[in-house]
Structure 1
Amino acid sequence: MLFFTKIFNFFNKKEANNSLIQIKSSEDLLFKHRKLIDDIYQHTHVPKQHFEDLYLYSIDRLAIWVQDLPASQSHHHSAEGGFLLHTLEVIEIAVKRRNTKMLPIGASVEKQNEKKDLWTFAIFVAALLHDIGKTVSDVNVMVYDHQQKELGRWSPWFGNMSSVDTAKYYQYQYNSNRKYQQHSLLPLTLLSQFINPAAIDWMQNESDLFTLLLMTLQGRSAEGAIIADIIKYADSESSAKSLANSSGNNAGNSNTGNSPQPKSLADKLLDTMRYLVLETDIKINAPGAAMFTTRNDVFFVSKVIMDKIRNSLDENKQKGVPFDNSRMMDELLQFHIITPNSEGKAIWNCTLIGGGFKKPVTLTMLRLPIEKIYFKTENHKELDVFSGEIVIEGEENKGDNKEAASNATATPEVSHSPPIPINDDTSCHQSGNNNATSPANPKPKPNNTTKETPPVEVNLPLPPGFEAATDENTSQNTEQVPPPKVEPTTEETKAEQSSGKPEVLETELGKDFFDWLILTINNKAISINTVESKVHIVMYQGKKALFLISPRIFKEYSAENWARTQKQFGRLRKNLKTAVTEENIWKVKTKTQRIGKQSSIIRGYLIINLEDHNFEELPKANKYLELIITQPKDKDNEHHK
């Protein structure tokens, strides 16, 4: 009888779920990173007890919190354990770089030595928490008991995974609707979970330092100044190292016994596409966007996405990236990543109608299946799609090729004019037009009344609030949206089409830049009058004036929007123009006493009457720079009084 009972139990035994990951202790998680932690200790230059009480206190809590989660879905450190490794690397690089800086900038040597350990620890905190918000906003984690029975979704707001009663295993899934901006705003809210309260009190006593740290932890890099700059550098270095060592396997796949092979260019391009869509704030499905989605396909504005891919690869120090966009498109075609048009080429000429556009807009686009970006394990029903029509040139009369038929709204067929050619650069910078998300044009949701392929089943159930709506529930709330009104093109509407409300937006970036400039200079968060400085003090008519090296100072403020920022700042007329040509750019000549060393010319913006702009105590003029002066006209001076 016992024999038959054993046979019965054998056939009815529930198979173990091999996809579950065991919750580990901090000792087990950190054991393989001992060398890296020791390097961090050496770079901090603090006593061992100090390091254990403050630094290891936080590193232990980080390890227990992130466990073996990856740092990203398909970009750098995307294997299990990547989050912990990436964070420790960022800490090590950041603390090492901090040792090359004399902080706080502009303070006496005595004060810099006095505050050395405090600044080092603040930079450690910023590095430790720089990505911690991803555990809240980017992944859904389900926890299980020792019998692999599901206990529910882990909520980081209640503590780490091991604090959940009887939790022994976990399983994670990336949230397909995650918002890039969220994770960078969350570190400050989790500060007390990781940092010794005594250390927080220690940092708060140094008001200027604590302000810079708080700004950095809220994702406000411009106001975070030197701390944010160091973290950004360390993050980039760690990411580049990971990508350079990438084996070419898909994210989440275990490594085989074979030696890792370098990724092909096509793999790098696809991974970067996914990274830009899933982990950055790329604009989608609105005027000025780089990407438009239907239920089955993704359409990228060709020049915009190619430039973004190249910039991302260059920032991560990837080699072998072609300068020519057509070369990259050929690579994507050759490896069947993008869908060829009817002529077998990469570019699709598409006209976008409605969806926030006041007039039909024609763009050159790349097309690829949606699962290439969002993976098969994600629920496509949850993805927003473009609410207007995407009409492919040459196929306007084929009903099955109208992308609107598979989009969010069941609108009547709209008559439209022939495609209107508009340059990629112009169309993709229509950032001022916010109609797509205004109350009159709510953000589109998929219309499930149209028959569609069922989503791929996943093993991990989504937590409450993330379940996809059923066809029945969604169809009851679906309202027909009237067809977009196609208006004839007029000269009066061109500016409105491209920039929305220019009278509001044309100087917004310039004003933000100038506010940032005053704040960083007054807080001594930016170096002045050094070899690497973007800001110098020069003498103009016997008074101090600011000389802003262009375009370096604008790139320091915004690497992506520096050109627009520079242009809009010029419109504010805060700077003094030259007299003869009335240009924004002035020149200064460097002075040198070295034999055989010639003077050089530096170009930049000049700001006078500093007392009118709330600049506080400034250093003496740079004795190695001489302003090349041409007396300005009286009328120009009036703008600066």
Structure 2
Amino acid sequence: MMRWWLKHEKGNAASPAPALVAEGYFLPESSESLLAADHRKRLLERICQYTALSQPQFDQLYLDPIHRYAKYVQQLPASESHHHAYPGGMLDHGLELMACSLKLRQSYLLPSGAAPEDQAAQTDAWSAAIAYGALLHDIGKIAVDLQVEYQNGELWHPWHGPLNKPYRFRYVTGRDYQLHAAAAGLLYTQILTPRLLDWLSGYPTLWGNLLSLLANHYEYAATLGELVLQADRVSTAQNIGANPTKALQAPTRSLQHHLLTGLRHLVKNEFKLNQPGAAGWLTENHLWLVSKTATDKLRAYLLAQAVNGIPSSNIAMFDELQSHGLVDTTPEGKAVWSATVSDEGWQHRFTFLRLQPSLIWADESRPRCFEGTVELVADNTVPRGEAIESALDRPQATSAKETPEPLPPNHDFDYLDDLMDMLQETVEHEDESSAQGLKSSTASPREAPGLAFVDWLREGIQSHRLLVNDCKAKIHIVDGTFYLVTPGIFQLYASEHPELSAGDDKTDAWRRTQRHFEHLGVHLKRPNGQNIWTCTVQGPRRKASLNGYMLQNAETLLSPVPTDNPFLNLTY
């Protein structure tokens, strides 16, 4: 068994001699002592296996930052009452995230889209950046969430260096839960040496992704951010007794992120403002969006982006926007405001969602403010079309969940092997399902054209180039699987691949593609053996019908599968 975790790091003092420590205080330990615990040795072994580096390289790139991290976090917990809420929990969580993220990283070639020789040359740098992001993503908590004091009453701040005297800690009452992400910038240069930072900064894409992650801007951290988020969910779920497999399959972006992104897109690119017939009015202090118009457009946009979990009811959508703090709440505690818009002899009353303009534009320049007036009226009624929605559409209240009890410091860590095995099984399962669902890339010549069409579908859906659940889309989600509208989807494919046409006969091209797809046998057949399923489309003014194919396994194109299109219903 390798014993490198017991090596004495240069400049890292050994554990101080036993001293008289008051009750409730912890004695600082050396990093070697902290990392010598059996469960941490096992995690370090996993991390070393996943990097596949020589011992000197591993010591330099991974072990040295881990020792520095251990000296700072000591016996501090990762949270007050959620995950890893016990002495030493921060160190355990950091090591688990490193191991999980490196395991997940094995399924990716980075940077995406680069030439194979460039990916090979940058392998070690990307692996290290992912591991550093995982280790440091919560490091700011020790600076702002916890108050740490020495036995003499002096407060400790991590920018003064590691703890060196007996200490105790408590969580700051009324703390800002978003602040620890910003505080990471105070500390990561104390964990990562200038030499490591020089190395990473030589890869601009990697460097930008890592800095975005450490600043909590996961939307700009690309795959690096996604891997750390997945690893964080797995480690947290395993520790609190939840299902880590489900956590691994959870969306990498929160619903709040999607709602805000959608609102920003619509306001900046699609909504007319400050005129009769507009979707909103901008005043100096508020952005007023017509409630039903904004909500319907937002839902349609998110469905087209294949976002999962979008409420089909406007009332439920109002609740989501309000619960995430994206819209202002009325004095009555509701999301919808009633106000009158007046401008040069024109006046109309609307129900609005009221937003803070900074949510949409941040530091960007804004459109000119409305020169008329928006005046609140006392009666905050919901528009008729929204009021008639059944109360049954509202999300049902769930019983309050008990806060998990903090785990004792000597709890069983046998779950670590299960955790890593679960990651291995998940990766293998994904590979198998892709191979089984769409057959092999070494398929027969007869199957190759159909597989090429499916590959085009997959790439288009995952890149959002092909719309899903949009009014103009040729792809929808029905009964939990992909519904391919025919002949539209095959005609679109043929138009993008003119080489398929024999002479000028484009009709034969899309029909041949449709037949090749059928020969794959990856679609569901109706009970009567026919291939084509009919759906009714219920719009606000008229009803129509569509014909299409239903896939057997939707996850071969995208996982998780988006929500069903609420406007389509199978009629067989």
- TM normalised by structure 2 equals 0.47
